[in-house]
Amino acid sequence: MLTLKQRTYGTRQLYIPNIRDEALVEGITAIERYKLRIISVCDPEDMAVMPEMLRPFIKDQLDIFKNYGLPAILAERIICVDAGHQNISKAILKNIDNIRRVINTKNGPVGLMPYISSFNIDAISEQLGLSVRQCGTASDLINNKAIAQEELRRLGVQTPLGKIICSCKQGEEFAERLQKKGYEEVGFKIIHSASGMGVFRIGIDEVSKYLKKYEGYIESEGILMDGWISGNITSYPNVQFFIGETPEQDLFISCSKQIISGTSHQGNINEPEILKRVSGLGDNLLTICNWIRSKGGYGINGIDFLVREEGEAERAYFLENNGRINGCTHGVVLADKIQHLYGPSDRPLEWGVNNNILVPASTTAHTFQRWLETSGIAFKSDWTRPPGSSVPNGPRGVLITNTAAIESHGKIMVLIVSGSREDVCEMMDMLPTNNNEL
């Protein structure tokens, strides 16, 4: 039986972690280090391109997966390019002949798997002769928050009341409309923002001040302004699908609740029951998937919702579509790989990811692993429950998925797996939450 990775990504792929092809991440230095996480889904027959600055961390990360007993990409199949301060996709285009020489197509075709499709990826695909599922134009459409909200609202999907604002006057007039509808806060969202970057939550009485402050940007680029939904928010689900050219080719990947801090995404915990619990969510997803398909947004898409309690029921509001590898995609794909290797075969393996664990500056991958072992939550493929525990035997614990940002930013990324979701949540709560504890 094929793994989730093989059914979605494919069996022989060239991975490109072109995170900086997405908006608002150009000046964030930690973004370069987040790219190492992509190798956690790679199989031995895959290839990947990494920025030269990550070369010192690759061997340690591959050794970690080896120690976990997980098959990983081979070190010789990782190509490092000197990207400097430019997008890695631009660096690849400048080094396209060197990349072409190391791609081996003798054992079958190789596909192109970028973090996000873009016009640079289109050019790489053409020059290397490798197929890519989604073109840059389609990516631009399905990741545009304003277009998605407006068009899906017309199709009957519940969304916050929103509008593209291109002037201060428009913004002030729309703020009055939102206030009359009962909104006390508004969201200002850069049209192609990601992971909470470029999302601002503003009190309705502060709108004029914000509009004046960013007047130049708003008039040149436009910004999505929508009502900030408040009340009893029960969940922020992320539902991932692989979208095919026909509905029959669609593949459900995961449904998880997002861990949100302020407006920033921190991680996810598997919770597929949301799909059955929230009335109408399934119908909304069908409409949204067909809309994505109509734009040519084939491949992995993560659809974000907000769920609010209204009376005795819960209602889901569509927030945005992320037509790319999502912040938790590597987690569910790696958890599926673990389940194929070690079980269980009769039930799902529960999982969670945390992409922003804060650790002291002196921490290394080895000292963090020792802390996990001392705390009793280090990953074991054949974990056996102690007396008194109700957690099922089998794969359990915390796996390190990215160590590249420990030294520079005091951050580490992990996957948590267990036969019990409650156990996943308990292990999540045990992880350090600031740079002073371990």
Q: Which CATH number do you get for residue 78?
A: 3.40.50
Residues 256 and 354 in one domain: no
Confidence at residue 197, expressed as pLDDT on a 0 to 100 scale: 58
Q: Which residue, 92, 115, 134, sits at the end of a domain?
A: 134
Alpha carbons 238 and 402: distance in angstroms, whole number: 22
Q: Smallest Cα–Cα separation from 336: which of 351, 317, 324? A: 351
- Domain identity same for 95 and 171: no
Bridge partners for 227 per DSSP: 186
Contact 310, 304 (CB under 8 A): no
- As a residue count, the chain comes to 438
Q: What is the pLDDT of residue 330?
A: 93
Could you tell me if residue 141 is inside a domain?
no
Instruction: Answer with the one of 183, 201, 227 that is the final residue of a domain.
Output: 227
> Which of 202, 227, 252 is the last residue before a domain boundary?
227
What separation, in Å, do the N-terminal and C-terminal C-alpha atoms of the chain show? 40
Query: Is residue 189 in a domain?
Result: yes
Looking at the fold, whether 188 and 244 belong to one and the same domain comes out as no
Largest CA distance in the chain: 67
User: DSSP E strands: which ranges in 262-377?
Assistant: 264-270, 299-310, 313-322, 350-358
Q: Give the burial class of 95: count Cβ atoms within 10 A of its Cβ; 0-12 exposed, 13-18 middle, 19 or more buried.
A: middle
Q: Is the peptide bond before 160 cis (omega within 30 degrees of 0)?
A: no
Cβ distance 202 to 208 under 8 Å?
Answer: no
**Close Cβ partners of 429 (under 8 Å, ≥ 6 residues apart):** none
Provide the pLDDT for residue 27: 44
Does the residue 350 lie in any domain?
Answer: yes
**CATH number of the domain where residue 180 is located:** 3.30.1490.20
Same domain for 10 and 129, yes or no, is yes
411 within domain boundaries: yes
Beta partners for residue 237, in sequence order:
257
Q: How many CB atoms lie within 10 A of CB 371?
A: 17
Q: How far apart are CA 252 and CA 241, in angstroms?
A: 5
The encoded tokens of residue 82 equal 């000197």
Q: Is residue 146 part of a domain?
A: no
Q: Are residues 11 and 128 in the same domain?
A: yes
Q: Are residues 344 and 406 in the same domain?
A: yes
Domain identity same for 389 and 355: yes
Q: What total of structural domains would you count in the chain?
A: 4
Phi, psi of 13 (to 5 degrees): -125, 150
Q: How many CB atoms lie within 10 A of CB 340?
A: 16
47 in any annotated domain: yes
Residue 30, pLDDT score:
64
Strands laid side by side in the 162-165 sheet: 162-165, 223-227, 185-194, 197-203
pLDDT of residue 96: 94
Residues 124 and 40 in one domain: yes
pLDDT for 254 equals 97
User: Is 66 a domain residue?
Assistant: yes
Residue segments in the chain with a per-residue pLDDT below the cut of 50: 24-27
Domain-embedded: residue 408: yes
| Domain shared by 263 and 385, yes or no | no
State the residue range of the domain holding 217. 161-227
Q: Are strands 111-114 and 13-16 parallel, antiparallel or unpaired?
A: parallel
CATH number at residue 313: 3.30.470.20
Query: Are 278 and 369 found together in one domain?
Result: no
In this predicted model, what pLDDT tens digit does every residue of 411-436 receive, in sequence order?
Answer: 999 999 999 999 999 999 999 877 76
**In terms of domains, do 240 and 221 share one?**
no
Q: What is the pLDDT of residue 156?
A: 97
Q: What is the dihedral of CA 26, 27, 29, 33, to 10 degrees?
A: -20
The answer on 313 and 339 residing in a single domain is no
If residue 307 lies in a helix (H) or strand (E), which one and from where to where? strand 299-310
Q: Tell me the two tokens of residue 18.
A: 């072109």
